[in-house]
Structure 1
């Protein structure tokens, strides 16, 4: 354990020198006791569970740098959920998720939707961050410099998360200024979106689909870097889980086809595009998105957004790549980057011949008659 005793632990600009195992253990125990005390006090005052969670993260977990310490001690695996869970929501939809997401599960159904709201929805690892940045810039006159000043997670909160630091979520969206557009990230099936958007058709949805082979590969690596998800296992094991829908947010086919169907029935409310289309002609997609959102952009603004939102640019942009949020995000960046490759067709480096044939058969069977074509390489 000497490599830990004698190491430097870098936390932004702060350097904790020669932090010992004893010191780290003291921090962990103290933080646990503090969190327990906070829970008791807040619950006695009738505070909502989501606000209790947010308070603990903001005032106990983040200041103590627990995530960074656990990563350094190589014990983050202890925090991983053992498996996904299937829960029935208040509207009787069975949702596959992780235990950490249960706090907000039903409350999101009643989230008050505004007509100006924009929901950026994807199955995980399908270009969510990419689309959030594009949409934010379209809605803010291509102000590139302004986008660099604040983290994307501050400008475009995650509806299914609680607030913590720059990573804004449900509470921030509840209290968002009424004269300002809310652009929010969502990884939920259409059936359990807020009633205001799924039933009353308020707001607008932008859905990005990505070919499921590349999604599977990217999701496999993402499981390795974040301890908020169950262990991926081997590639063969994860492919089986993914094909069976035994991963967080569930079955790719059910998830994607529902949004595809809704977009065909409500094209003025749902803009459906693909990761591959964005990769092939980003300026054309920016123009189409601007039209859908009712925004007029000059040619130079379109080009500025397209240039700023290339994968190479996004990967190095600290306002969107999550690297400056290591102390509040359950990510181990030593495993892989949040933005890894961004290529279309990387699945060919993972799928065997037999796996390709089996997945192709699954794809043809599940997509039959849907009218949705996906590109697996370009």
Structure 2
């Protein structure tokens, strides 16, 4: 099959933006880039391979999890894998999620001060074992994870495979994303949340801007191959989401089986699983992969009147332009 040209413009961020981003992102030499009409912010390495990822072959039995980072991706991945694999808890415990899912764009985010090259066969590079370079070699059914927005993924993805998207209140994402940047050593540990929030507002963080990312999927929510979920929805009615996902997969389980799965997916239980741990963690710090697992916790970090006002204005300025609404857990 002939490879399609990558359909979007890729350009460097401004010199001022690059200088600001490099105050925080460590180990990057080339200018950061913006991609497409929404100006998605990425490392230069993504630009090198954007066409390869856009031209990945998609199979009808693929299962893709698409989400902005820190939106409940791991939670959804575990649910999907178990529902599709006849609730094989032993298999889930033995095989890390980094092996069960191919994180396709992960190598494009690597620090440029480290030598580039393919990972040793079957060895994890940290967040994944498999990626866009060897996706075509994986046996069916393939489980794929990505933080890329739909527009940057293969054009026929949604018409070919099942896609599951999970969204989360951007204020909670901002807090969790802040700690993730420290966990994976993108940022130094002494970077304050106020500095991170300034970058968030300016879309000078990996994957940003967040609202177009979510809205691309939201606008496709009625496609027969799209299952659009909210993190808050999973917190409020996990059993209901399990039913929804099982139906999308064409799976049928008893109430007892689904209750057991809901218990397995309880945040405290998932936090104990060695198959779901990534990065170096400090048990006495918030710098950990499975951190809080709650919604609305953003208020503790937007802890001045000015920050709270900025957060509310940020949400209102974007939500006023769309019919997207995040679930209210208080009702």
Q: What is the aligned counterpart of 1:289 among 225, 245, 266?
A: 245
Counterpart position of 2:288: 337
Residues 1:78 and 1:233: Cα distance change in structure 2 (over 3 Å): closer
Please give the alpha-carbon distance, in whole angstroms, between the structure 2 residues aligned to 1:321 and 1:248: 21
Identify the residue that residue 315 of structure 2 maps to in structure 1.
363
Q: Of the two structures, which has the highest relative contact order with CA contacts closer than 8 Å and spacing of 6 or more?
A: 2
- Are 1:237 and 2:195 matched, yes or no? yes
Q: Give the CA deviation at 1:94.
A: 4.3
Which structure 1 segments of 5+ residues have no match? Answer: 1-76, 323-330
1:85 aligns with 2:36: no
Q: CA offsets, 1:204-237, max 9 Å, x none?
A: 2111001011100000111112124688832112
Alignment of 1:275-286 (within 5 A): 275-286=231-242
Matched, 1:147 2:147: no
Q: Give the drift of 1:363.
A: 1.3
Work out the CA distance in 2 between the residues paired with 1:83 and 1:214.
30
Q: Secondary structure at the match of 2:103?
A: coil
1:197-216 pair list within 5 angstroms:
197=157, 201-216=159-174
What is the Cα deviation at residue 289 of structure 1? 0.4
Gaps of 5+ in 2: 1-23, 108-118
**1:111, 1:196 within 8 Å by CA — same for their partners in 2?**
no
Question: Alpha-carbon deviations, 1:91-147, whole Å to 9, x = none?
Answer: x87431124544533211010001111110110011111110000001001111111
State yes or no: 1:252 paired with 2:202: no
Aligned-partner Cα distance in 1 for 2:319–2:190:
26
How many residues were matched structurally?
A: 286
Indicate conservation of the 8 Å contact 2:67/2:147, yes or no: yes
The alpha carbon displacement at 1:183 in A equals 1.5
Report the equivalent of 1:316.
272
CA distance in 2 between counterparts of 1:106 and 1:284 reads 38
Q: Mark the CA change 1:103 to 1:152 in structure 2 (over 3 Å): closer, same or farther.
A: farther
DSSP 3-state at the match of 2:229: strand
CA distance in structure 1 between the partners assigned to 2:241 and 2:252 by the alignment? 14
1:299–1:341 Cα change, 3 Å? same
Q: State which of 138, 145, 154 in structure 2 corresponds to 1:185.
A: 145
What is the deviation of 1:196? Answer: 2.6
- 1:195 alignment partner, SS class: coil
Distance 1:101 1:313, change over 3 A: farther
Q: Which residue of 2 aligns with 1:373?
A: 325
1:219 corresponds to 2:177: yes
SS of match in other structure, 1:314: helix
For the aligned residues, what is the CA RMSD? 2.5
Larger Rg: 1
Q: TM-score, normalised by structure 2?
A: 0.79
* Alpha-carbon distance in 1 for matches of 2:246, 2:256: 14
Point out the structure with the larger helix share.
Answer: 1
Q: 1:175 aligned to 2:125?
A: no
Once residues 284 and 83 of structure 1 are traced to their aligned partners in structure 2, the CA distance between those partners, rounded to angstroms, is 46
Q: TM-score, normalised by structure 1?
A: 0.70
**C-alpha distance in 2 between matches for 1:103 and 1:129:** 27
Instruction: Give 1:241 shift.
Output: 1.3
Q: Is the 8 A contact 2:26 2:187 kept in 1?
A: no
1:173 is displaced (CA, Å) by 2.3
Q: Give the secondary structure class of the aligned counterpart of 1:271.
A: strand
SS at match of 1:120: strand
Q: 1:257 to 1:114 in 2, by over 3 A?
A: same
Distance in 1, matches of 2:177 and 2:310, equals: 19
Counterpart mapping for 1:19-168 below 5 A: 80-81=27-28, 85-88=32-35, 94-162=39-107, 165-166=123-124, 167-168=128-129
Q: Contact 1:112/1:196 (CA < 8 Å) preserved in 2?
A: no
CA 1:210–1:299: 2 relative to 1, 3 Å: same
